[in-house]
Amino acid sequence: MNGSDYFPQRYPLDAFLMLVRTTAWELQQKVQAPDALIGMGLIAGMATACQGLFDVKLPTGQCRPTSLNLIAIAESGERKSTVDALVFAPLYEHDCRKAKAFQAALDSYQAKRELWEARGQGLRNRLAKAVSKGEATEAIQAEMAQHTTLKPTKPRLRRFMRQNITPRAIMDTLRGDGESIAITTDEGQVMFKGETMAQLGLLNKAWDGAPMLTLDRADFDNVLVMNPRVTISIMTQKQVLQAYLMKHGDIAKGSGHWARYLFGWPESMKGFRSVNTDEHVWECLPLFQARMQELLEKYEAISESGEVKREVVEFSDDAKARWFELSQQTEWMLRPGDYLNDIHDFASKIMELLGRLAAVFHCYSGEEGKVTLDTLERAFTVVQWHLEEYKRMFSPQFALSQGQVDAQAVFKYLRDSVWQGPRSDTYVPKNHVRQYGPVRDRDRLNAALRILEAQRALWVVVAPRGKQRFVRLSDWYFGGGL
């Protein structure tokens, strides 16, 4: 994973359809979290709500899930938990209601089970007595057979949101046909240091929507999973992800697991937020949440009916033509030396990701008919942003030198502590930067300053009288000219 968090592009929130776009703007204004954190949170929420109800038929004819995997990188204090709580509120509320109802059903089941077992024991006692006396047992055996059919069914807790879940628990959760869950966390350490990421093959098959998964246990309690739907949303700190990559990065990339994710590493908002003392009045977010609640209720209804049959969404003719055009362009860019050659793993999934995301946009926004060209183009804008993120994070040619890493750190220090500091200075003594800044080594600091000078971000100048050197900040560069 490269350290290139250097001027990431703004997240294309404007590409969302109206209901989600206005919600994104409202969250950005009131929460003031990084834009990609908001956008990716909304995508995860939409995918979770849609995946149990809709599949997408790609222009190639393949029928695929609308599930999506996302990893957003943001440090502590970026309001990950706030975004998570607001976007996923209907899902958490749904799970709370289900948990309470499940507990009541479980109490009833246990009482019925005890009564059933007591009656069974009574029948066994009668049978044993009849056998000991040499009496006929046919009637008792018939009663026992009938009693077996009356065994109470243990209730099942169906909830969407899962966090630190083991691979075995994933199989138990998805047991049956058409189950839908979301594995989410706003603290990536929970997932990366837990057992969830221990079986990447299982997670890959879940993303693929495998027709059947099996788990054969020693006690013959075999688990059968058919047509599962799983969305994964991870908000994590850089160090946590890097620690995981150091140990398991080659496997995650080599197995194609990372290629199934939309990655995002937005620039921090800390130090750039405005303080608003007014109480938040939400206008758009409740509409987004209401749509999610509507979709959850529809899924709950079909799930309880015992037959999960998803609607298959298709593309309009002009959207199909555009999809094939983009697919051909992607293929060309896989050639040696071309733009996608060094991230061919992600490029191999990009058209499917595009189709899934376009279908999610279409279904969540309640669009009628087939997915339009406009919706496909909107989804393409978002996927393209994530492609650039994947490239700058994982492409070998985008790896930064130590001087570039130091230049980033020095730039951020000068921006936050000098340009936007209490005195809003444009000049600062070079020794001050060395003493209080992030790079204390003289040679490394000089190398970092030379890089920033080459970018016209600053100049190292000598005072008119004396030998003291100053760092002069560029008004154009620090003032937003980029």
- pLDDT average, residue stretch 165-173: 88
Nearest alpha-carbon partner for 234 in 74, 436, 390: 74
Q: Tokens standing for 196?
A: 């969830």
Instruction: Decide if 330 contacts 340 (C-beta within 8 A).
Output: yes
Q: What is the C-alpha to C-alpha distance for residues 459 and 451, in angstroms, rounded to an integer?
A: 10
- Assign 273 a pLDDT band (cuts: 50, 70, 90): confident
Q: Say which residues have a Cβ less than 8 Å from residue 71's Cβ, sequence separation at least 6.
A: 188, 234, 236, 241, 261, 262, 263, 264
Query: What is each CA distance from 114 to 119, 144, 478, in whole angstroms?
Result: 9, 16, 73
Domains located in the chain, CATH noted: 13-96+199-208+234-242+249-398 (no CATH), 402-478 (1.10.10.10)
Q: What is the C-alpha to C-alpha distance for residues 442 and 248, in angstroms, rounded to an integer?
A: 36
pLDDT of residue 58 exceeding 90, the answer is yes
Amino acid (1-letter code) at residue 221:
D
Q: What is the C-alpha to C-alpha distance for residues 71 and 57, in angstroms, rounded to an integer?
A: 25
Q: What is the C-alpha to C-alpha distance for residues 303 and 292, in angstroms, rounded to an integer?
A: 16
- What is the per-residue pLDDT for 63? 96
Nearest alpha-carbon partner for 184 in 246, 258, 234, 115: 234
Give the DSSP per-residue string, 151-195.
Answer: PPPPP----SEE-S--HHHHHHHT-EES-EEEEEES-HHHHHSSS
Q: Which of helix, strand or coil describes residue 64?
A: strand
pLDDT tens digits, residue range 203-236?
999 999 999 988 876 665 788 899 999 999 999 9
Residue with tokens 């154009």: 476
- Assign 482 a pLDDT band (cuts: 50, 70, 90): very low
Exposure string for 218-231, b = 16+ CB within 10 A, e = fewer: eeeeebebbbbbbb
- What is the per-residue pLDDT for 5? 41
pTM exceeds cut of 0.85: no
Q: What is the C-alpha to C-alpha distance for residues 94 and 292, in angstroms, rounded to an integer?
A: 11
Q: What is the C-alpha to C-alpha distance for residues 232 and 203, in angstroms, rounded to an integer?
A: 9
How many Cα atoms sit within 13 Å of 373 on the Cβ side?
A: 9
Neighbours of 272 (CB within 10 A): 11
Q: Which of helix, strand or coil describes residue 374?
A: helix
pLDDT tens digits, residue range 430-442?
999 999 999 999 9
- What is the per-residue pLDDT for 31? 93
- Strands (DSSP E) found in 390-466: 427-429, 458-462
Q: Which of helix, strand or coil describes residue 340?
A: coil
Instruction: Decide if 82 contacts 33 (C-beta within 8 A).
Output: yes
Neighbours of 122 (CB within 10 A): 12
pLDDT tens digits, residue range 405-435?
788 889 888 988 888 877 667 889 999 999 9
Instruction: Decide if 90 contacts 293 (C-beta within 8 A).
Output: yes
Q: What is the C-alpha to C-alpha distance for residues 37 and 237, in angstroms, rounded to an integer?
A: 12
pLDDT tens digits, residue range 238-260?
888 888 887 888 888 889 999 99
Instruction: Decide if 79 contacts 33 (C-beta within 8 A).
Output: yes
